[in-house]
Amino acid sequence: MFRMINPVQDYAWGSTSALTELFGWPPSAEPRAEVWMGAHPTAPSQVVLDEDGPETTSLDTLLADRPELAGAADGGSARAAGLPFLLKVLAAARPLSIQTHPDAERARAGFAAEDAAGIPRTDRRRCYPDPSPKPELLVALDEFAALSGFRDADEAAEDLEALVRLLRADGAGADGTDGSEDAEAVGSLADLLAAGDHHGALEEILRGRREEFVAAAERITRLLAPEAPALRADVLGRPGGLATSTADTLRRVAAAFPGDPGLLVTVLLQRVDLRPGEALFLPAGNLHAYLHGVGVEIMASSDNVLRGGLTGKHIDVDELLSVTEARRLPVPHCPPTTPAPGRRRYTPECRDFALERIELPEAGSPLALADEGPAVLLCTAGELVVERLAEEVRTGSADGAVIPRGAARLRLRPGQSAYLPATARHRLVGGDSGQAFLATRGAVAA
């Protein structure tokens, strides 16, 4: 097995304190948004080849050189053998972008089209830096808030009407007009939702009447600020006003992205609040945004993201509209099964990945880990010891070369992870108390 040294992404929405509090890492003045554990070429993990020496290599390079470590037979590719997942720890201090992800067919077509257009694969304008779909599963480590899919049209219309009243009560707009156009634009969304036209409402905000929604978002941002309590009082809290969760979402988004028309998109989407251990599965086409919280996220090994707002990154409204599933969907909770005490397994309908949460001492020790292929083991609490079963190691490959074996025994502390190759079986043998997540391949055919 191989100790992993994982890249940390410093996106602006990340937290400066969450990973310090969770893992005991040194404080950071810069935001730490995501810890990536995997072999995605954008930011692959490094792996330690020998615990007694300094030699490391990137995981993607190791698996390209020795695909047997990813379960490939006869020198086949690591991806074909089943290493399609990327594991992350996500720490959001403020909202992420409104986004969706493509299915496999759309990802392949989009990737080929951008290649044909001559857009470099590292160019930030690309929507499709790789040809793969990107389903996602997030398990909350603390209280986690997200938006996922379109909400009930009547509930959304009530909140939109409350915002119309707020805009009309404010009177004149900042540009010297009476503000009626802003209010009328927001009110028109309720009519579209009443007709079942979620796609039309989304398109109106992002493209059709964008300038009017920018103006409305700027005024709503100002009117929901703490210094405007008199005007807010009439529209906050049911009955007859904004839903409490909607008001909280709008405040968070307005504080991070003042004047962004994506503020109005959030009113169309379902608010989902997860408690620790609860999970959300986001398949292709699900329009979503994370608001705040810390979680363990697993996804197909892809970075294909179609953004529509609440971001300084590249936005492609046309592509987002073409991919988004524009109808009301049930909240895609993913409740775990409990195959044994202390073990909770999250298995969405996805062939790319599955995720297991292990709690010690409930799970017992020694504890045999999954042996159906490669895995990534992440420690999130306590201290864990993982051991390779030496008698199970297959050291030869099809070409006669020796397969790197890494360490026989690793001690993992919070925030540390290990790559468990397909050439051996592994078990947890120590740790009086702790928590770990085990990422493996999924078992459901696409």
Q: Which residues are catalytic?
A: 307
Mind giving me the DSSP string for 32-46? Answer: B-EEEES--TTSPPE
Pick from 318, 319, 202, 208: nearest CA to 262: 202
Q: Quick check: 245 and 123 in contact, CB under 8 A? A: no
- Rounded Cα distance, 332 and 93, in Å: 23
CB count in 10 Å sphere of residue 367: 19
Cβ within 8 Å of residue 316, ≥6 positions away: 127, 306, 307
Q: What φ, ψ does residue 44 adopt, rounded to 5°?
A: -75, 150
The distance from CA 34 to its chain's CA centroid, rounded to whole angstroms, is 9
Pick from 83, 40, 44: nearest CA to 373: 83
| CA atoms within 13 Å, Cβ hemisphere of 398 | 11
- Rounded Cα distance, 36 and 86, in Å: 7
